[in-house]
Amino acid sequence: MWWSVVLVTGMASAAVPDGLRQLHVMAERQSETLGLAESRKKQAEERRSQALGALFPNLNARYNYQEIDPPSGIRGPFTRINQYSALVNLNQPLYRAAAYPAFRFTGEDIKLQAHLVEQAGLTLWAEVIMAYYDAWIARNDLANVLALKEFSSERVRDLRERVRVGRSRRGEGLQAEAQLSTVEAEVGRAQQAVAAADERISFLSGTQSALAFGALPTPSVGTAPVEQLLQTAENRPDVAARAQEVRLFDELISSSRSGHMPSVDFNGNYFLERTGVLQDSKWDVGVAVNIPLYQGGAVDARVKEAVERKREAALVLARLRREIERDIRILWQNSVALDTVLVQLKNAAAKSRETYEAARRDFGYGLVTNLDVLLTLNQYIDTKRNFDRAVLEKELVALQLGIATGVRP
């Protein structure tokens, strides 16, 4: 297990660019979801304090004052027109069956909320990674389209000159101009994709700060065995949270069953002042026992509800594990496929560039037509765009595999 974690961690962290870490820092400060998860954890801690307070003694000061319509007849302590008392009351729970599982319940809830905070952080990483690489892919694609536009513009200028001196037909110039118009439309779409990606980044970061993207990374080849990835995924915080939720409902079942149990409290009063026949008595103590005999089936219903909630939590956990395995296998298959695609596209990009350069030379000698040159140019740029996208997708999938196994970059 330890080696699998090291392997996945190394695979993910080796490809983390500075711009991605920069975006994550800003997104952490901005994220409402992460703040909500941390707030829920603090609320769980306060609920634990409340549950602990149910086991501690309660000390209260009380003052009672009452005036009555004096009855006719003999006057005495009970017929005073004003009755009052001032006292200090102490109540100490001696045995409350529900208090102990309720206290344990809050402890398990704190563990659950801690796992959910960790999962919120992991989910934020996933969102940041996707937004960053979407923006990088869009920017790189725009750069390739702009390069195609430059090549096409150069081609138009060259053919206009050739048409002017009679070395090329007017139709060849029109072909080049049509190519340029098509590429200009592609530039507009690529710019729109960049703008949309930038909006997603701004939403996550809460700012309009420019991020570092840098040059295209060196293609990384290789994927960890899927069995190791699946084994590491058992440590994911959402898996731990759902398993913790099952344990949480164990305590809820216990707390619900305690409704059948008696409660015992100790009570003590110290009177500072009071009226009546006991006005000279300063204190009293006692024990109160409450034994539930019949509550209309409410306790049994609460127990059955808690059992079903535990069953629901177990089903959610089983479903989550199956979804994780599915996602990891899909990402793993994508990563393995990209290993092959990268090798093939790298060779194709190199050959298509050579083909384009050769077609340009041959056109000067009159061996090929302008249409041949345009076709090889388009093929070269399309292949390069596909190769560049595959390089970034490989980096993206590597990071996504790390997230899918619960390992942060």
Sort 49 into a burial class: Cβ within 10 Å, 0-12 / 13-18 / 19+. exposed
Give the pLDDT band of residue 78 (cuts 50, 70, 90).
low
pLDDT at 392 over 50: yes
Share of the chain above pLDDT 90, in %: 65
Give the pLDDT band of residue 267 (cuts 50, 70, 90).
very high
pLDDT digits (tens, 9 = 90+) for 280-329: 899 999 999 999 988 889 999 999 999 999 999 999 999 999 999 999 99
Domain assignment present for residue 143? The answer is yes
Least reliable range by pLDDT among 77-86, 141-150, 183-192, 332-341: 77-86
Considering only residues 52 and 222, tell me which one the structure prediction assigns the higher pLDDT: 52
Give the pLDDT band of residue 366 (cuts 50, 70, 90).
confident
Q: Does the reported pTM lie above 0.85? A: no
Edge-to-edge strand ranges of the sheet holding 263-274: 58-67, 82-96, 263-274, 283-290
pLDDT for the residue 363 = 85
How many distinct structural domains can be found in the chain? 1
Least reliable range by pLDDT among 3-7, 47-51, 204-208: 3-7
Give the pLDDT band of residue 264 (cuts 50, 70, 90).
very high
pLDDT for the residue 77 = 61
pLDDT at 76 over 70: no
pLDDT for the residue 92 = 93
Give the pLDDT band of residue 386 (cuts 50, 70, 90).
very high
Domain assignment present for residue 409? The answer is no
pLDDT for the residue 120 = 95
Domain assignment present for residue 144? The answer is yes
We report the CATH number of the domain holding residue 97 as 1.20.1600.10
Domain assignment present for residue 343? The answer is yes
Domain assignment present for residue 7? The answer is yes
pLDDT at 15 over 70: no
pLDDT digits (tens, 9 = 90+) for 43-68: 999 999 999 988 899 999 999 998 87
Average pLDDT (336-350) is: 93
pLDDT at 11 over 70: no
pLDDT at 7 over 80: no
Domain assignment present for residue 377? The answer is yes
Domain assignment present for residue 14? The answer is yes
Domain residues for 169? 2-404
Give the pLDDT band of residue 42 (cuts 50, 70, 90).
very high
pLDDT for the residue 186 = 93
pLDDT for the residue 325 = 95
pLDDT at 352 over 80: yes
pLDDT for the residue 79 = 65
